[in-house]
Protein backbone atom coordinates (compact mmCIF):
# COMPACT_ATOMS: atom_id res chain seq x y z
CA UNK A 1 0.00 0.00 0.00
CA UNK A 2 1.36 3.40 -0.92
CA UNK A 3 1.46 6.35 1.39
CA UNK A 4 -1.23 8.13 -0.63
CA UNK A 5 -3.57 5.30 0.24
CA UNK A 6 -2.69 5.71 3.87
CA UNK A 7 -3.84 9.34 3.95
CA UNK A 8 -7.00 8.36 2.11
CA UNK A 9 -7.73 5.85 4.83
CA UNK A 10 -7.36 8.56 7.45
CA UNK A 11 -9.95 10.78 5.80
CA UNK A 12 -12.37 8.02 5.03
CA UNK A 13 -12.22 6.30 8.43
CA UNK A 14 -15.28 8.04 9.88
CA UNK A 15 -17.33 7.12 6.82
CA UNK A 16 -16.19 3.53 6.84
CA UNK A 17 -17.01 3.15 10.51
CA UNK A 18 -20.43 4.65 9.95
CA UNK A 19 -20.93 2.31 7.02
CA UNK A 20 -20.13 -0.74 9.12
CA UNK A 21 -22.80 0.00 11.68
CA UNK A 22 -25.25 1.05 8.94
CA UNK A 23 -24.84 -2.18 7.00
CA UNK A 24 -25.35 -4.27 10.12
CA UNK A 25 -28.66 -2.67 11.03
CA UNK A 26 -30.42 -2.33 7.71
CA UNK A 27 -32.37 -5.32 6.53
CA UNK A 28 -32.18 -4.92 2.77
CA UNK A 29 -32.25 -7.26 -0.22
CA UNK A 30 -28.91 -8.75 -1.16
CA UNK A 31 -28.61 -6.86 -4.46
CA UNK A 32 -28.84 -3.59 -2.59
CA UNK A 33 -26.34 -4.72 0.02
CA UNK A 34 -23.96 -5.61 -2.79
CA UNK A 35 -24.48 -2.22 -4.37
CA UNK A 36 -23.65 -0.47 -1.12
CA UNK A 37 -20.61 -2.63 -0.49
CA UNK A 38 -19.42 -1.79 -3.97
CA UNK A 39 -19.96 1.87 -3.11
CA UNK A 40 -17.93 1.81 0.08
CA UNK A 41 -15.07 -0.06 -1.51
CA UNK A 42 -14.88 2.50 -4.30
CA UNK A 43 -15.03 5.22 -1.74
CA UNK A 44 -12.22 3.71 0.29
CA UNK A 45 -10.18 3.60 -2.88
CA UNK A 46 -11.06 7.09 -4.14
CA UNK A 47 -11.41 9.02 -0.91
CA UNK A 48 -12.73 12.55 -1.06
CA UNK A 49 -11.90 14.38 -4.27
CA UNK A 50 -8.65 16.31 -4.18
CA UNK A 51 -7.59 19.40 -6.03
CA UNK A 52 -4.94 17.55 -7.97
CA UNK A 53 -7.76 15.76 -9.76
CA UNK A 54 -8.76 17.37 -13.02
CA UNK A 55 -12.44 17.66 -12.18
CA UNK A 56 -11.76 19.23 -8.80
CA UNK A 57 -8.98 21.68 -9.50
CA UNK A 58 -11.01 24.71 -8.47
CA UNK A 59 -13.13 23.15 -5.75
CA UNK A 60 -11.69 22.13 -2.42
CA UNK A 61 -13.55 19.56 -0.37
CA UNK A 62 -11.49 20.24 2.72
CA UNK A 63 -14.31 21.92 4.64
CA UNK A 64 -16.60 18.99 3.90
CA UNK A 65 -14.03 16.53 5.19
CA UNK A 66 -13.56 18.56 8.35
CA UNK A 67 -17.20 18.07 9.20
CA UNK A 68 -17.30 14.87 11.26
CA UNK A 69 -19.31 12.46 9.22
CA UNK A 70 -22.54 11.73 11.10
CA UNK A 71 -25.12 10.46 8.63
CA UNK A 72 -28.83 10.83 9.34
CA UNK A 73 -29.59 7.11 9.10
CA UNK A 74 -33.07 7.30 10.53
CA UNK A 75 -35.74 9.94 10.65
CA UNK A 76 -35.43 12.08 13.76
CA UNK A 77 -39.12 12.90 13.42
CA UNK A 78 -38.62 16.63 12.93
CA UNK A 79 -41.53 18.45 11.32
CA UNK A 80 -40.21 21.78 10.09
CA UNK A 81 -42.42 24.61 8.89
CA UNK A 82 -42.70 24.09 5.15
CA UNK A 83 -44.39 27.38 4.34
CA UNK A 84 -41.26 29.18 3.10
CA UNK A 85 -40.40 26.35 0.75
CA UNK A 86 -43.76 25.72 -0.85
CA UNK A 87 -44.45 27.21 -4.26
CA UNK A 88 -47.69 29.11 -4.28
CA UNK A 89 -50.18 27.71 -6.81
CA UNK A 90 -48.35 24.42 -7.02
CA UNK A 91 -50.92 21.92 -5.86
CA UNK A 92 -49.77 18.70 -7.46
CA UNK A 93 -48.01 15.70 -5.95
CA UNK A 94 -45.49 16.58 -3.27
CA UNK A 95 -42.97 14.46 -1.46
CA UNK A 96 -41.15 15.96 1.48
CA UNK A 97 -37.95 14.50 2.81
CA UNK A 98 -36.71 15.70 6.17
CA UNK A 99 -33.03 15.02 6.73
CA UNK A 100 -33.07 12.46 3.98
CA UNK A 101 -36.16 10.52 5.01
CA UNK A 102 -39.70 10.74 3.70
CA UNK A 103 -42.12 12.58 5.92
CA UNK A 104 -45.56 11.11 5.27
CA UNK A 105 -47.21 13.86 7.26
CA UNK A 106 -45.76 16.65 5.15
CA UNK A 107 -46.20 14.92 1.82
CA UNK A 108 -49.25 15.22 -0.36
CA UNK A 109 -50.24 12.68 -2.95
CA UNK A 110 -53.34 13.25 -5.02
CA UNK A 111 -54.75 10.44 -7.16
CA UNK A 112 -52.32 9.58 -9.87
CA UNK A 113 -52.81 8.18 -13.36
CA UNK A 114 -52.83 4.39 -13.58
CA UNK A 115 -49.48 2.82 -12.90
CA UNK A 116 -47.69 6.05 -12.03
CA UNK A 117 -45.60 5.77 -8.89
CA UNK A 118 -44.48 8.74 -6.86
CA UNK A 119 -43.07 7.44 -3.66
CA UNK A 120 -39.90 7.13 -1.66
CA UNK A 121 -37.10 4.82 -2.62
CA UNK A 122 -37.13 2.94 0.69
CA UNK A 123 -40.69 1.77 0.22
CA UNK A 124 -40.31 1.22 -3.53
CA UNK A 125 -37.48 -1.18 -2.77
CA UNK A 126 -39.97 -3.20 -0.71
CA UNK A 127 -42.99 -2.94 -2.96
CA UNK A 128 -41.40 -2.74 -6.44
CA UNK A 129 -38.02 -4.34 -5.82
CA UNK A 130 -37.49 -5.64 -9.34
CA UNK A 131 -38.35 -2.34 -10.96
CA UNK A 132 -35.97 -0.44 -8.74
CA UNK A 133 -33.27 -3.02 -9.16
CA UNK A 134 -33.56 -2.75 -12.94
CA UNK A 135 -32.68 0.95 -12.84
CA UNK A 136 -30.94 1.93 -9.63
CA UNK A 137 -27.24 2.66 -10.16
CA UNK A 138 -27.55 1.72 -13.81
CA UNK A 139 -26.96 5.27 -15.02
CA UNK A 140 -24.80 7.12 -12.53
CA UNK A 141 -21.31 5.78 -12.18
CA UNK A 142 -20.62 4.59 -8.66
CA UNK A 143 -16.97 5.45 -9.08
CA UNK A 144 -17.66 8.80 -10.78
CA UNK A 145 -16.15 10.51 -7.75
CA UNK A 146 -15.61 9.76 -4.07
CA UNK A 147 -18.91 11.47 -3.43
CA UNK A 148 -20.94 9.30 -5.76
CA UNK A 149 -19.28 6.21 -4.31
CA UNK A 150 -20.14 7.41 -0.81
CA UNK A 151 -23.66 8.15 -1.92
CA UNK A 152 -24.04 4.62 -3.24
CA UNK A 153 -22.70 3.13 -0.01
CA UNK A 154 -25.43 4.86 1.93
CA UNK A 155 -28.36 4.39 -0.46
CA UNK A 156 -31.40 4.35 1.76
CA UNK A 157 -34.05 6.85 0.82
CA UNK A 158 -34.90 9.49 -1.72
CA UNK A 159 -37.62 10.00 -4.28
CA UNK A 160 -38.79 7.38 -6.72
CA UNK A 161 -40.86 8.48 -9.68
CA UNK A 162 -42.03 5.98 -12.23
CA UNK A 163 -44.03 6.95 -15.30
CA UNK A 164 -45.31 3.97 -17.27
CA UNK A 165 -45.60 4.01 -21.04
CA UNK A 166 -47.77 6.80 -22.38
CA UNK A 167 -48.71 8.28 -19.01
CA UNK A 168 -48.67 11.98 -18.31
CA UNK A 169 -48.66 13.59 -14.90
CA UNK A 170 -50.24 16.96 -15.59
CA UNK A 171 -49.27 18.78 -12.47
CA UNK A 172 -45.62 19.36 -11.63
CA UNK A 173 -44.23 16.93 -9.06
CA UNK A 174 -42.56 18.77 -6.23
CA UNK A 175 -39.82 17.01 -4.29
CA UNK A 176 -38.70 18.98 -1.26
CA UNK A 177 -35.57 18.09 0.67
CA UNK A 178 -35.28 19.91 3.97
CA UNK A 179 -32.29 19.82 6.26
CA UNK A 180 -32.86 20.52 9.94
CA UNK A 181 -30.51 21.14 12.85
CA UNK A 182 -29.98 17.91 14.73
CA UNK A 183 -27.34 15.45 15.87
CA UNK A 184 -26.61 14.23 12.38
CA UNK A 185 -24.77 16.44 9.91
CA UNK A 186 -24.84 14.43 6.72
CA UNK A 187 -27.80 13.72 4.50
CA UNK A 188 -27.59 11.09 1.84
CA UNK A 189 -30.23 11.11 -0.87
CA UNK A 190 -30.72 8.91 -3.84
CA UNK A 191 -33.42 9.80 -6.34
CA UNK A 192 -34.57 7.70 -9.22
CA UNK A 193 -36.81 8.92 -12.02
CA UNK A 194 -37.88 6.49 -14.70
CA UNK A 195 -39.93 7.80 -17.61
CA UNK A 196 -41.04 5.08 -19.99
CA UNK A 197 -41.84 5.61 -23.65
CA UNK A 198 -44.10 8.52 -24.44
CA UNK A 199 -44.61 9.51 -20.84
CA UNK A 200 -44.44 13.06 -19.61
CA UNK A 201 -43.82 14.92 -16.37
CA UNK A 202 -42.30 18.00 -14.82
CA UNK A 203 -40.31 17.43 -11.68
CA UNK A 204 -38.98 19.99 -9.24
CA UNK A 205 -36.31 19.23 -6.65
CA UNK A 206 -36.01 21.88 -3.93
CA UNK A 207 -33.18 21.74 -1.45
CA UNK A 208 -33.58 23.94 1.57
CA UNK A 209 -32.63 24.33 5.24
CA UNK A 210 -34.94 24.75 8.17
CA UNK A 211 -31.96 25.30 10.46
CA UNK A 212 -28.70 27.17 10.57
CA UNK A 213 -26.16 24.42 11.08
CA UNK A 214 -23.63 23.20 8.59
CA UNK A 215 -25.16 20.14 7.01
CA UNK A 216 -23.65 18.20 4.17
CA UNK A 217 -26.13 16.97 1.57
CA UNK A 218 -24.88 14.38 -0.88
CA UNK A 219 -27.45 13.61 -3.54
CA UNK A 220 -27.50 11.57 -6.71
CA UNK A 221 -30.48 11.74 -9.06
CA UNK A 222 -30.69 9.22 -11.85
CA UNK A 223 -33.10 9.92 -14.67
CA UNK A 224 -33.96 7.46 -17.42
CA UNK A 225 -35.92 9.06 -20.22
CA UNK A 226 -37.17 6.49 -22.71
CA UNK A 227 -38.08 7.03 -26.33
CA UNK A 228 -40.36 10.00 -27.07
CA UNK A 229 -40.81 10.80 -23.38
CA UNK A 230 -40.73 14.40 -22.15
CA UNK A 231 -39.23 15.35 -18.84
CA UNK A 232 -38.53 18.79 -17.44
CA UNK A 233 -36.38 18.66 -14.34
CA UNK A 234 -35.87 21.73 -12.21
CA UNK A 235 -33.41 21.65 -9.35
CA UNK A 236 -33.40 24.53 -6.93
CA UNK A 237 -30.85 24.74 -4.16
CA UNK A 238 -31.20 27.40 -1.46
CA UNK A 239 -29.66 25.70 1.56
CA UNK A 240 -28.23 27.82 4.36
CA UNK A 241 -24.86 29.39 3.80
CA UNK A 242 -23.03 27.10 6.22
CA UNK A 243 -24.12 24.06 4.26
CA UNK A 244 -22.32 21.86 1.82
CA UNK A 245 -24.15 20.53 -1.17
CA UNK A 246 -22.86 17.95 -3.62
CA UNK A 247 -25.21 16.75 -6.32
CA UNK A 248 -25.05 14.59 -9.38
CA UNK A 249 -27.76 14.42 -11.98
CA UNK A 250 -27.27 11.66 -14.47
CA UNK A 251 -29.75 11.43 -17.29
CA UNK A 252 -29.92 8.84 -20.01
CA UNK A 253 -31.82 10.09 -23.00
CA UNK A 254 -33.28 7.78 -25.58
CA UNK A 255 -34.52 8.31 -29.10
CA UNK A 256 -36.81 11.28 -29.79
CA UNK A 257 -37.08 12.26 -26.16
CA UNK A 258 -37.11 15.80 -24.82
CA UNK A 259 -35.29 16.60 -21.63
CA UNK A 260 -34.70 19.89 -19.90
CA UNK A 261 -32.54 20.38 -16.85
CA UNK A 262 -32.72 23.60 -14.87
CA UNK A 263 -30.28 24.16 -12.06
CA UNK A 264 -30.79 27.22 -9.91
CA UNK A 265 -28.26 27.60 -7.13
CA UNK A 266 -28.33 30.37 -4.55
CA UNK A 267 -27.44 28.63 -1.31
CA UNK A 268 -24.72 26.72 0.53
CA UNK A 269 -21.16 27.52 1.49
CA UNK A 270 -19.96 25.07 -1.13
CA UNK A 271 -22.23 23.74 -3.84
CA UNK A 272 -21.10 21.34 -6.48
CA UNK A 273 -23.40 20.14 -9.26
CA UNK A 274 -22.48 17.53 -11.80
CA UNK A 275 -25.08 17.34 -14.53
CA UNK A 276 -24.46 14.70 -17.14
CA UNK A 277 -26.72 14.06 -20.08
CA UNK A 278 -26.03 11.03 -22.20
CA UNK A 279 -27.84 10.75 -25.50
CA UNK A 280 -28.19 7.09 -26.31
CA UNK A 281 -30.73 7.44 -29.10
CA UNK A 282 -31.16 9.64 -32.16
CA UNK A 283 -33.17 12.88 -32.39
CA UNK A 284 -32.92 13.75 -28.73
CA UNK A 285 -33.57 17.36 -27.82
CA UNK A 286 -32.13 18.46 -24.53
CA UNK A 287 -31.50 21.70 -22.72
CA UNK A 288 -29.31 22.56 -19.77
CA UNK A 289 -30.33 25.83 -18.24
CA UNK A 290 -28.66 27.19 -15.16
CA UNK A 291 -28.40 30.17 -12.88
CA UNK A 292 -26.14 30.66 -9.91
CA UNK A 293 -26.28 33.63 -7.66
CA UNK A 294 -23.83 33.83 -4.80
CA UNK A 295 -22.20 36.27 -2.41
CA UNK A 296 -20.15 36.21 0.81
CA UNK A 297 -17.59 33.46 0.56
CA UNK A 298 -19.86 31.08 -1.23
CA UNK A 299 -18.43 28.69 -3.74
CA UNK A 300 -20.55 27.27 -6.52
CA UNK A 301 -19.40 24.77 -9.10
CA UNK A 302 -21.27 23.39 -12.10
CA UNK A 303 -19.75 20.61 -14.11
CA UNK A 304 -21.97 19.72 -17.01
CA UNK A 305 -21.69 17.21 -19.78
CA UNK A 306 -23.60 16.74 -22.99
CA UNK A 307 -22.54 13.39 -24.32
CA UNK A 308 -23.60 12.96 -27.92
CA UNK A 309 -23.24 9.24 -28.41
CA UNK A 310 -25.74 9.09 -31.28
CA UNK A 311 -26.40 11.16 -34.41
CA UNK A 312 -28.98 13.90 -34.95
CA UNK A 313 -29.29 15.14 -31.40
CA UNK A 314 -29.55 18.74 -30.20
CA UNK A 315 -28.18 19.91 -26.90
CA UNK A 316 -28.48 23.55 -25.89
CA UNK A 317 -26.92 24.88 -22.77
CA UNK A 318 -27.27 28.28 -21.12
CA UNK A 319 -25.61 29.13 -17.83
CA UNK A 320 -25.72 32.51 -16.15
CA UNK A 321 -23.84 33.42 -13.01
CA UNK A 322 -23.99 36.45 -10.77
CA UNK A 323 -21.17 36.62 -8.26
CA UNK A 324 -20.82 39.17 -5.49
CA UNK A 325 -18.53 39.76 -2.52
CA UNK A 326 -15.75 37.20 -2.32
CA UNK A 327 -17.69 34.40 -3.90
CA UNK A 328 -16.21 32.02 -6.38
CA UNK A 329 -17.80 30.24 -9.29
CA UNK A 330 -16.69 27.36 -11.41
CA UNK A 331 -18.25 26.36 -14.68
CA UNK A 332 -17.00 23.44 -16.68
CA UNK A 333 -19.07 22.49 -19.70
CA UNK A 334 -18.15 19.39 -21.59
CA UNK A 335 -19.50 18.49 -24.97
CA UNK A 336 -18.57 15.10 -26.29
CA UNK A 337 -19.44 14.30 -29.85
CA UNK A 338 -18.64 10.66 -30.48
CA UNK A 339 -17.55 9.31 -33.82
CA UNK A 340 -21.04 8.19 -34.85
CA UNK A 341 -22.79 11.34 -33.74
CA UNK A 342 -23.06 13.08 -37.11
CA UNK A 343 -25.47 16.01 -37.47
CA UNK A 344 -25.03 16.92 -33.85
CA UNK A 345 -26.20 20.41 -32.95
CA UNK A 346 -24.56 21.39 -29.67
CA UNK A 347 -24.64 24.91 -28.30
CA UNK A 348 -23.16 26.11 -25.08
CA UNK A 349 -23.17 29.56 -23.59
CA UNK A 350 -21.80 30.53 -20.22
CA UNK A 351 -22.07 34.11 -19.05
CA UNK A 352 -21.25 35.61 -15.71
CA UNK A 353 -21.38 38.99 -14.09
CA UNK A 354 -18.94 39.83 -11.35
CA UNK A 355 -20.50 42.31 -8.97
CA UNK A 356 -17.37 42.84 -6.93
CA UNK A 357 -13.63 43.01 -7.51
CA UNK A 358 -13.07 40.07 -5.24
CA UNK A 359 -15.48 37.68 -6.89
CA UNK A 360 -14.02 35.22 -9.36
CA UNK A 361 -15.15 32.73 -11.93
CA UNK A 362 -13.27 29.90 -13.54
CA UNK A 363 -15.12 28.98 -16.70
CA UNK A 364 -13.96 26.32 -19.03
CA UNK A 365 -15.74 24.98 -22.07
CA UNK A 366 -14.41 21.59 -23.04
CA UNK A 367 -15.31 20.31 -26.47
CA UNK A 368 -14.24 16.95 -27.73
CA UNK A 369 -15.50 16.29 -31.21
CA UNK A 370 -14.84 13.08 -33.09
CA UNK A 371 -17.49 13.39 -35.82
CA UNK A 372 -17.03 15.70 -38.80
CA UNK A 373 -20.51 16.80 -39.81
CA UNK A 374 -21.57 18.66 -36.69
CA UNK A 375 -22.57 22.10 -35.50
CA UNK A 376 -20.95 22.97 -32.20
CA UNK A 377 -20.72 26.44 -30.76
CA UNK A 378 -19.68 27.70 -27.40
CA UNK A 379 -19.20 31.08 -25.86
CA UNK A 380 -18.09 32.18 -22.44
CA UNK A 381 -18.10 35.71 -21.11
CA UNK A 382 -17.21 37.03 -17.70
CA UNK A 383 -17.47 40.66 -16.87
CA UNK A 384 -19.40 43.59 -15.59
CA UNK A 385 -22.70 44.91 -16.76
CA UNK A 386 -22.78 46.42 -20.23
CA UNK A 387 -21.94 50.13 -19.91
CA UNK A 388 -23.68 51.03 -23.14
CA UNK A 389 -26.88 49.48 -21.86
CA UNK A 390 -26.52 51.38 -18.59
CA UNK A 391 -26.11 54.64 -20.49
CA UNK A 392 -29.08 53.80 -22.69
CA UNK A 393 -31.26 53.37 -19.58
CA UNK A 394 -29.95 56.58 -18.05
CA UNK A 395 -30.59 58.48 -21.27
CA UNK A 396 -34.23 57.53 -20.83
CA UNK A 397 -34.41 58.79 -17.25
CA UNK A 398 -33.58 55.68 -15.23
CA UNK A 399 -30.84 56.34 -12.69
CA UNK A 400 -27.68 54.32 -12.57
CA UNK A 401 -28.54 52.12 -9.57
CA UNK A 402 -31.91 51.25 -11.09
CA UNK A 403 -30.32 50.60 -14.45
CA UNK A 404 -27.93 48.13 -12.84
CA UNK A 405 -30.81 46.50 -11.03
CA UNK A 406 -32.81 46.26 -14.22
CA UNK A 407 -29.96 44.72 -16.18
CA UNK A 408 -29.00 42.26 -13.46
CA UNK A 409 -32.60 41.15 -13.05
CA UNK A 410 -32.88 40.73 -16.78
CA UNK A 411 -29.73 38.65 -16.85
CA UNK A 412 -31.15 36.29 -14.22
CA UNK A 413 -34.58 36.53 -15.79
CA UNK A 414 -33.37 35.10 -19.10
CA UNK A 415 -32.73 31.80 -17.33
CA UNK A 416 -35.92 31.83 -15.27
CA UNK A 417 -37.93 32.46 -18.44
CA UNK A 418 -36.96 29.07 -19.77
CA UNK A 419 -38.76 27.28 -16.98
CA UNK A 420 -42.16 26.33 -18.31
CA UNK A 421 -44.01 26.20 -14.98
CA UNK A 422 -45.44 29.62 -14.05
CA UNK A 423 -45.68 28.80 -10.33
CA UNK A 424 -42.01 27.89 -10.26
CA UNK A 425 -40.99 30.97 -12.19
CA UNK A 426 -42.92 33.17 -9.83
CA UNK A 427 -41.44 31.62 -6.70
CA UNK A 428 -37.91 31.69 -8.03
CA UNK A 429 -38.22 35.24 -9.28
CA UNK A 430 -39.17 36.42 -5.83
CA UNK A 431 -36.28 34.62 -4.16
CA UNK A 432 -33.82 35.67 -6.79
CA UNK A 433 -34.91 39.31 -6.69
CA UNK A 434 -34.42 39.34 -2.91
CA UNK A 435 -31.04 37.72 -3.22
CA UNK A 436 -30.03 40.19 -5.92
CA UNK A 437 -31.05 43.12 -3.77
CA UNK A 438 -28.68 41.78 -1.13
CA UNK A 439 -25.85 41.55 -3.63
CA UNK A 440 -26.50 44.94 -5.19
CA UNK A 441 -26.59 46.68 -1.82
CA UNK A 442 -23.34 45.19 -0.59
Partner 1 sequence: MSKQLIEIKNLSANINGKEILKGINLTVNEGEVHAIMGPNGSGKSTLGYVLAGREGYEVTGGEILYRGKDLVEMAPEERAREGLFLAFQYPVEIPGVNNTYFLRAAYNEQRKHRGEEEMDAVDFLAVVREKMKLLELPDAMMKRSVNEGFSGGEKKRNEIFQMAVLDPKLSILDETDSGLDIDALKIVATGVNRLKSPTNASIVITHYQRLLNYIVPDYVHVLFDGRIIKSGGKELALQLEEKGYDWITGKETVAAR
Q: How far is the CB of 420 from partner 1 (least distance, A)?
A: 17
Find, among 155, 159, 177, the residue nearest to 118 by Cα.
159
Q: How far is the CB of 352 from partner 1 (least distance, A)?
A: 15
Residue nearer to partner 1 on the CB measure, 159 or 291 = 291
- Within positions 205 to 264, which residues make up the interface with partner 1, using CB under 8 A? none
- Site pattern 295..324 for partner 1 (x: CB under 8 A): ------------------------------
Of 76 and 401, CB closest to partner 1 = 401
Nearest approach in angstroms of CB 75 to partner 1 is 43
Q: Which is nearer to partner 1, 106 or 416 (CB)?
A: 416
**Least distance CB 356 / partner 1 (angstroms):** 20
Smallest distance from partner 1 to CB 314, Å: 20
Minimum CB–partner distance for residue 388 and partner 1 (Å):
5
C-beta of 22 vs 318, nearer to partner 1: 318
Nearest to partner 1 of 126, 399 (CB atom): 399
Nearer to partner 1, 151 or 408 (CB): 408
Measured from the CB atom, the residue of 334 and 405 that comes closer to partner 1 is 405
Least separation in angstroms between residue 349's CB and partner 1 is: 12
User: Measured from the CB atom, is 89 or 399 closer to partner 1?
Assistant: 399
Count of residues near partner 1 by CB under 8 A: 23
State the nearest-atom distance from the C-beta of 322 to partner 1, in Å: 13
Q: Which 362-421 positions form the footprint of partner 1 (CB under 8 A)?
A: 386-389, 391-400, 402, 406-407, 409-411, 413-414, 417
List contacts with partner 1 (CB under 8 A): 386-389, 391-400, 402, 406-407, 409-411, 413-414, 417
Amino acid sequence: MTSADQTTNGETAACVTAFESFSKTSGSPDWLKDLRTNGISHFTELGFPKQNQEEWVFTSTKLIQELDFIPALASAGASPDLAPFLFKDLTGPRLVFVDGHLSHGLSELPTLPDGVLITNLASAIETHGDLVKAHLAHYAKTDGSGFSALNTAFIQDGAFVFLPKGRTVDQPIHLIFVATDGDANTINLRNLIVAEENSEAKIIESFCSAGEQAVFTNVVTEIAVAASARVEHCKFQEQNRESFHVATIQAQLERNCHFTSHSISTGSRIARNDINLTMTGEHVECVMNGLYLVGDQQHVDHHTMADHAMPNCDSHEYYHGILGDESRGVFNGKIFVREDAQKTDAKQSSRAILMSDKATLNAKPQLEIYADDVKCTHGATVGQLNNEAIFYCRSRGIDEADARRLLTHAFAGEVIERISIPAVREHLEKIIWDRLEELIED
